[in-house]
Amino acid sequence: MLYTVAHGNLADLIAFAGGDNIAAGRFPAVFGQLNPEAVIAANPDLYIATGSSGPEETTALQLGPLVNAEQAKTTFLRALAQDSTVSALPAVQQQRAAAFWQNFYMSPWHLLAAEFFAKTFHPQLFHDLSPDDTLREMNQQFLPIPETGTYWTHN
């Protein structure tokens, strides 16, 4: 089973950024599960994972403060390979998968999630959008101690 969001929360940001969530309308709660057959049958154009494990959790998808880009990418690729349903998806096999730090979409920093999703879903349309630049600007203007780490990655 794959845990996902059908509406509210992350699902609203996906819709706002122009994404088509395969879980939308599949269950009444915000969070729920999709069986492997439903995910494979939906054949999504893109697969997105979220995570919040730090570098100390060596068997999980690592994203967030203190996580470097190599750790994020390596643990994401490992997570993709370890899930037989996800690894079977053509989107994953064709390197159309991304991962995002879930703490950003559950906070006022969700602007970064919206930018990341928009750029990931529609790279030509949002070619001039840079979540990295936005994070840098937010750090400079609003934080006494900058956010450091890796908050998103692609396969």
pLDDT tens-digit profile of 31-55? 999 999 999 999 999 999 999 899 9
Q: What pLDDT is recorded for position 104?
A: 82
pLDDT at residue 3 is higher than 80: yes
**Contact of 10 with 99, CB cutoff 8 Å:** no
Q: How many CB atoms lie within 10 A of CB 6?
A: 20
Residues 16-41, mean pLDDT to the nearest whole number: 94
The pTM of this model reads: 0.91
Mean pLDDT of the chain: 93
Q: What pLDDT is recorded for position 9?
A: 85
CATH code that applies to domain 2-154: 3.40.50.1980
